[in-house]
């Protein structure tokens, strides 16, 4: 199992996170990432990012992000900063793909 370590800054705080691929389903175009690390583990029993590519009838595709988590207790806030981070990533990826499409012959 491959383990990736990365730093993420949200709400002005730097988090060191670890990521492993829990599931890679090429047929259904789905990847499940398990995210963990000291800061994550202090708040959540389980934390997963799920990415699915969905083929649309018009020949285009859409990407669906799902954040699946279980809080340690009810006092823990939902992972809103992660939602903001994923939203930013999606905008950055979209901008990159649009730029590449304009450059392609």
Strand ranges inside the chain, DSSP E: 3-10, 13-25, 30-36, 44-55, 61-71
What confidence score (pLDDT) does residue 56 get? 92
* CATH value at residue 44: 3.30.530.20
Low-confidence ranges of the chain (pLDDT < 50): none
Q: Residue 27: which domain range?
A: 3-103
Total domains in the chain come to: 1
User: Model pTM?
Assistant: 0.78
What confidence score (pLDDT) does residue 55 get? 92
Stated as kind and residue range, the H or E segment containing 39 is helix 38-43
| Phi and psi torsions of 2, nearest 5° | -80, 135
For the record, the structure tokens of 30 come out as: 């789905």
pLDDT, tens digit, 9 for 90 and up, residues 63-72 = 899 999 999 9
What confidence score (pLDDT) does residue 50 get? 95
């Amino acid at each position: 199992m491959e383990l990736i370590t990365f730093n993420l800054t949200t709400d002005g705080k730097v988090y060191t996170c670890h990521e492993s691929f829990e599931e890679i389903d090429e047929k259904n175009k789905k990847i499940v990432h398990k995210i963990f690390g000291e800061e994550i583990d202090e708040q959540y029993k389980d934390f997963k990012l799920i990415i699915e590519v969905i083929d649309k009838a018009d020949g285009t595709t859409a990407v669906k992000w799902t954040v699946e988590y279980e809080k340690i207790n009810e006092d823990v806030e939902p992972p809103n900063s992660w939602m903001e981070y994923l939203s930013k990533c999606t905008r950055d990826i979209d901008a990159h793909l649009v730029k590449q499409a304009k450059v392609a012959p």
